[in-house]
């Protein structure tokens, strides 16, 4: 990466960070606040999308260089101008009105978000595999005793002669979790540029090292 681009820190309307885990801090009033620690890693602009060329304005950004053996020629060619020798493990896009100085190779600043901002969080929730309807949909289940043969089953699912089929959207056992979840109005409690860490109030969907998208509300 060139010195000019390395020193240029863009401030956007949001950024991407990685979930570390949860902790507790205390505010000035001595109240305990549950927070999730998000680790920020350097993101570099890899493509600037414009209305004239792409139909909308956005910034594509890349993070974490790949090894040469894991990169194809298209990745290498696309990310060379951004300062990557090979491909990148994460390439994401943030729709944004193009700020001044938006150019390929510019680094995104962690100070794009400030203490007290409210953001919309998007990440992938933990996957729990195949789960029954009681766990997946919080069904009550049936009686546990007195000879009941109905315990953790989904119950009746069919219809009469018409329509004679199970209607779409019926709550059944199946894949639980591992889906994109969005949480709104989450408060930024602390931004620490020295240690590249953000603290947000409350829990964040996903496991440790999950990529989290934060966009100012």
Show the domains of the chain with their CATH numbers.
3-126+181-216 (2.40.30.10), 127-177 (no CATH)
How far apart are the C-alpha atoms of 128 and 203, rounded to whole Å?
A: 18
How far apart are the C-alpha atoms of 84 and 74, rounded to whole Å?
A: 13
pLDDT in tens, the chain (217 residues): 444 444 468 999 999 999 999 999 999 899 999 999 999 999 999 999 999 999 999 999 999 999 999 999 999 999 999 999 999 999 999 998 888 888 999 999 999 999 999 999 999 999 999 999 999 999 999 999 999 999 999 988 888 898 899 999 999 999 999 999 999 999 999 999 999 999 999 999 999 999 999 999 8
How far apart are the C-alpha atoms of 156 and 166, rounded to whole Å?
A: 10
How far apart are the C-alpha atoms of 11 and 208, rounded to whole Å?
A: 26
How far apart are the C-alpha atoms of 139 and 92, rounded to whole Å?
A: 37
Q: For residue 157, give both structure tokens.
A: 């699912």
> Peptide bond preceding 163: is omega within 30 degrees of 0, i.e. cis?
yes
């Amino acid at each position: 990466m060139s010195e000019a681009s390395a020193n240029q820190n863009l401030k956007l309307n949001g950024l991407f960070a990685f979930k570390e885990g949860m902790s507790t801090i205390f505010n000035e009033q001595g109240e305990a606040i549950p927070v999730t620690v998000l680790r920020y890693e350097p993101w570099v602009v890899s493509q600037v999308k414009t209305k004239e060329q792409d139909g909308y304005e956005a910034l594509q950004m890349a993070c974490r260089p790949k090894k040469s053996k894991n990169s194809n020629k298209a990745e290498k060619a696309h990310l060379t101008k951004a300062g990557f020798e090979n491909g990148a493990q994460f390439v994401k896009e943030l729709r944004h009105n193009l700020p001044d100085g938006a150019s390929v190779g510019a680094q995104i600043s962690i100070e794009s978000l400030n203490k007290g901002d409210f953001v919309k969080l998007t990440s992938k929730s933990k996957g729990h595999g195949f789960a029954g309807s009681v766990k997946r949909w919080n069904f009550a289940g049936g009686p546990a005793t007195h000879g009941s043969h109905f315990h953790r089953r989904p119950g009746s699912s069919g219809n009469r002669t018409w329509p004679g089929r199970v209607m779409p959207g019926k709550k059944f056992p199946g894949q639980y979790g591992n889906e994109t979840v969005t949480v709104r109005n989450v408060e930024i409690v602390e931004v620490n540029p020295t240690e590249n860490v953000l603290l947000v109030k409350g829990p964040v969907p996903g496991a440790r090292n999950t990529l989290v998208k934060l966009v100012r509300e």
